[in-house]
Structure 1
Amino acid sequence: MNDKLSTMKRVNIGLAARYRKEKRFRLFGLFAIVLSLSFLVLLLGSIVAKGYTAFLQTEVLVEVHLDPEALDVKNLATANYPAIIRQSMLDLFPQVQSRQDKRDLVKLISTGAAFELQQMVMAKPELIGTTKSLWLTADDEVDMFIKGHIPRDVPEAERRISDKEIAWIDQLVAAGRLKTSFNSVFFQAGDSREPELAGIRGATMGSLYTLLVTLLLSFPIGVAAAVYLEEFAPKNRWTDLIEVNINNLAAIPSIVFGLLGLAVFLNFMNLPRSSSTVGGLVLTLMTLPTIIIASRASLKSVPPSIREAALGVGASKMQTISHHILPLALPGMLTGAIIGMARALGETAPLLMIGMVAFIVDVPQGFSDPATVLPVQIYLWADSPERAFVERTSAAIMILLCLLLAMNATAVLLRNKFERRW
């Protein structure tokens, strides 16, 4: 009896110790999840806090007199529009007399304002000889000051805007000639050396063209390779070697694919440098292993009874695959393709190797035009010293994250909607 009680006591002690270990393990897991979510919230919060102001842009209201003597109707494209804007700013501050002060005053307006005025006059030549009240884009330093990124309560030597410029800005604010509005330029323009004129449209179109090339090449090739390896290829040492290499390619650093693209597509095949075509080819090589592996897993998930039933009623091998196996495996294949495209959208290193890091002002109009992509655009802006590029970098990261979340959400929805459980 005592031996039995002693045994039960030892069992209870062991159970209590096991329960304590399980509880500690659950607490460690919960702590890891909370810590990960905290870092994620901190990262996203920092990006949003720095980037949301990029969706707003400061503008200055000026009275622009379109002097017929300065605007030759036959040569509107080459007229001296900066001089017209300069005179408009000087009319607002007649007390400014020195040459240096005049230069500093005109710098409150973005250099891109002359282009805005040129576009307006060329579109409506009948405006020549009239005076128009126009909201023109302010310089990036003025924009940063209005948004509070440049404090006024620090010594003048420690900020990039002088006391007299702050006084002029205060006069414009008091006169109702300064406002912040939605920054449409950020979504409509390409890259620029001036932060207030820089936009993501060029990089977005470059990403679109590059992903389109990647999808059109990688999905059919990947599915075809998966079908052959899973349904037709004999099981021998050669196919085993191919499978191992495909799995290894999925783990190779992406910059290696960039080096391969540089050697083959640019140096050997002489394809257009910095183009979406070359970028799509490089990303195709990178995403093919992911799509092949996902497609093979989808084909394996189809029950053997489907194949046997189709073959049993007289269908050929090809009819069985095309009419029964592929339709059932397609949702998983699409999910793998979307995940591969999401990875390709966020890649930077391989595209740097093929020259897509170039400064591209014009929005690409085709697959052979010089282009860049969103991750590379973010990399370029992050390397710029101006404070205004900091908020544009964060805003571009927000746009990129939204696109990645949308693609991954699409993959999850497709899987949940079309996936069949056997």
Structure 2
Amino acid sequence: MSDPSTSPMANAPFANERVLKRLRRRRAADRRFKWYGRMAIGFALAALTLLLGSIATQAVSAATYHVVTFDLSFDKNTFGDVQPDSPPPVDRVYGLVRDDLLAEFPETASSPALRHDLLGLVTRLAVLPVAKDLVRKPAEIGTKRRVELPLSDDLDLFLKGAAARHLTVPVGRVKAEEIAGNVTLTSEATFARLIAAASLENMQPPEMPGTGSILMTAGRSTIRLDSLAPSRVTGTLLTGTAQDFRTYPARARLIPAPESERTVSDLQIAWLLALKADGRVLRVPHWSLLTHTDSTQPELAGALAAIIGSLLTLLVTASLAIPVGILASIYLEEFAPRNRITGLIEVNINNLAAVPSIVFGLLGAAVFLGAFGLPRSAPVVGGLVLALLILPVVIIASRAALKAVPQSIRDAALAIGASRMQTVFHHVMPLAAPGMLTGAILGMARALGETAPLLLIGMVAFVAEVPRGPTDEATALPVLIYSWATQAERAWEPMTGAVILILLAFLIAMNGVVVFLRRKFERRW
């Protein structure tokens, strides 16, 4: 048997304890670095998930909205003069809606204030699409038609639980007595559950000064409680009759906020619950967000004009930035001599890629609007400004794609007699095209998300019509997001989140095209 001291491993370089210790430290450093990388990726994914989750949570309310159904009769005596070229009869259509609501709640006829609150359930502009359809289809005059009109944004948010927070407590069967509009309810089972819920909300019965309202509903009738005891409650009848409390199970709604601190009154809630009990209030998908243009009322607003405006702006941007950027990159990489002038041009291109976007907006406002007199708030101006913004990005990405093509391709083409131009366009360009298109689409994606340049050239204007061409007044999705986000009404918040998701969908689609092109045409050398 050989002596271990004479074994080759005894004299190996790693047999030294100091070397082995250093090797263990290096391997431990490698493991720590891997964990640092995993933690960085996890943090990035968590931040992205948090961002998308918050936007989606904010936008989910805008996916649906509530409408009120009306059976409107367009009689010939009222609408007989409507022709295809006449203005939409908004006032006459809204008059039918007003008469329907007043007939449904006749108790409001004697009070102008009550009528005003009742008509606040549906705004006047809500009937505009119906009036336009009537102009386009005069044959509907003399017929009866069921229409769905958007509910007021405040009441829509109330039904969604996003405004005037309320708690619903089932009560069950009760006995009711009515004397001069005051209703007394008694129950064999006590109202202990309702009292406990009111105590939790700091709505101490029987006196509840400035602590909100307790509404009791049965069928289409609602009372507002004035006192609350374990076996007996009294309240003022807001709508309907006491008979509904004898027929249907009762349900209480606790609204902690006083009427002075919320945008919906107790009467409006009572009318809304009555319409809902009749089956006239429906929750439907909010397709109008994609089919309507901007409006001063959140429940009527849509992003169609901004979507078309963004597409027209990107069309102008692509028409200028992509061909100019690709041709410039080809010349600089394949044909331009290497001297100080081309070196200065390359440095300036790299510097322009880092210039803040607002500077390009100032340039567009001064040159395109001031000097050339192009129309303000038009996609053609926005497209020109964004083309200048992404032009350096397209040039840099295209040059990088050309550099990635091996020099042997050029040498082989020249060796078989191809000219310089044939070499570039027949051999180099097909191989560099995926990278060049990738850079161009990424530049377009950046242009789609820009806001500051478009604000400076006036594309923040309120646009109520869909633009038909690059010279029409228009806005863009990022500008619409900015405009809605600065509105004071709470109903704009979910609408803003929904438009952000639409913009992200466009960006994801464009990045998906980039990934597809790269995987399909990319070659490894």
- Which residue pairs with 2:455 in the alignment? 352
Matched residue type, 1:20: A
1:104 pairs, out of 114, 117, 120, with 117
- Which residue pairs with 1:145 in the alignment? 158
1:116 equivalent in alignment to 2:129 = yes
Cα deviation, residue 387, structure 1:
1.4
- Which residue pairs with 1:381 in the alignment? 484
- Which residue pairs with 1:335 in the alignment? 438
Residue pairs, 1:49-198, within 5 angstroms: 49-74=57-82, 77=87, 78=89, 80-97=92-109, 98-150=111-163, 151-152=165-166, 153-155=255-257, 156-198=259-301
Structure 2 unpaired stretches of 5+: 167-254
**How far apart are the structure 2 equivalents of 1:59 and 1:349?**
36
**How far apart are the structure 1 equivalents of 2:79 and 2:40?**
68
1:274 and 1:355 in contact (8 A); partners too: yes
**How far apart are the structure 2 equivalents of 1:295 and 1:6?**
50
SS of structure 2 residue aligned to 1:387: coil
1:73 and 1:125 in contact (8 A); partners too: no
**How far apart are the structure 2 equivalents of 1:119 and 1:346?**
34
Cα deviation, residue 6, structure 1:
12
Cα deviation, residue 157, structure 1:
2.5
**How far apart are the structure 2 equivalents of 1:124 and 1:419?**
54
1:287 equivalent in alignment to 2:295 = no
Cα deviation, residue 131, structure 1:
4.0
SS of structure 2 residue aligned to 1:95: helix
Structure 1 unpaired stretches of 5+: none
Residue pairs, 1:178-327, within 5 angstroms: 178-327=281-430
1:110 and 1:140 in contact (8 A); partners too: no
- Paired residue total: 422
| Cα 1:350/1:74, change in 2 over 3 Å | closer
Cα deviation, residue 74, structure 1:
4.8
**How far apart are the structure 1 equivalents of 2:141 and 2:461?**
39
| Cα 1:220/1:74, change in 2 over 3 Å | closer
| Cα 1:124/1:210, change in 2 over 3 Å | closer
**How far apart are the structure 2 equivalents of 1:126 and 1:322?**
60
**How far apart are the structure 2 equivalents of 1:123 and 1:259?**
43
**How far apart are the structure 2 equivalents of 1:405 and 1:5?**
54
1:16 pairs, out of 12, 18, 24, with 24
2:80 and 2:141 in contact (8 A); partners too: no
| Cα 1:6/1:221, change in 2 over 3 Å | closer
| Alignment RMSD (CA, Å) | 2.1
Matched residue type, 2:256: V
Which 10-residue stretch deviates more, 105-114 or 215-224?
Answer: 105-114
**How far apart are the structure 2 equivalents of 1:175 and 1:348?**
46
1:62 and 1:89 in contact (8 A); partners too: no
**How far apart are the structure 2 equivalents of 1:186 and 1:93?**
31
- Which residue pairs with 1:404 in the alignment? 507
**How far apart are the structure 1 equivalents of 2:473 and 2:63?**
27
Cα deviation, residue 130, structure 1:
4.4
2:82 and 2:138 in contact (8 A); partners too: no
1:278 and 1:354 in contact (8 A); partners too: yes
Cα deviation, residue 329, structure 1:
1.2
Identity of counterpart residues, as a percentage? 49
**How far apart are the structure 2 equivalents of 1:74 and 1:399?**
38
SS of structure 1 residue aligned to 2:338: coil
Which TM-score applies when normalising by structure 1? 0.95
Cα deviation, residue 255, structure 1:
0.7
SS of structure 2 residue aligned to 1:80: helix
Matched residue type, 1:303: P
Matched residue type, 1:92: E
Q: Which has the higher helix share?
A: 1
Q: Deviations over 1:130-165 (max 9, x none)?
A: 443322221111211122111232222332111111
**How far apart are the structure 1 equivalents of 2:280 and 2:51?**
37
**How far apart are the structure 2 equivalents of 1:380 and 1:180?**
27
Cα deviation, residue 184, structure 1:
2.0
1:46 equivalent in alignment to 2:54 = yes
**How far apart are the structure 2 equivalents of 1:170 and 1:319?**
76
Indicate the structure whose relative CO is greater, using CA pairs within 8 Å and at least 6 residues apart: 1
Matched residue type, 2:433: L
Which TM-score applies when normalising by structure 2? 0.77
1:31 equivalent in alignment to 2:33 = no
Cα deviation, residue 71, structure 1:
2.8
The structure whose Rg is larger is 2
**How far apart are the structure 2 equivalents of 1:305 and 1:367?**
45
**How far apart are the structure 2 equivalents of 1:234 and 1:387?**
60
**How far apart are the structure 2 equivalents of 1:366 and 1:325?**
37
SS of structure 1 residue aligned to 2:149: strand
Cα deviation, residue 84, structure 1:
1.9
Matched residue type, 1:90: L
**How far apart are the structure 2 equivalents of 1:43 and 1:203?**
23
Cα deviation, residue 420, structure 1:
1.2
**How far apart are the structure 2 equivalents of 1:120 and 1:355?**
32
Q: Which has the higher strand share?
A: 2
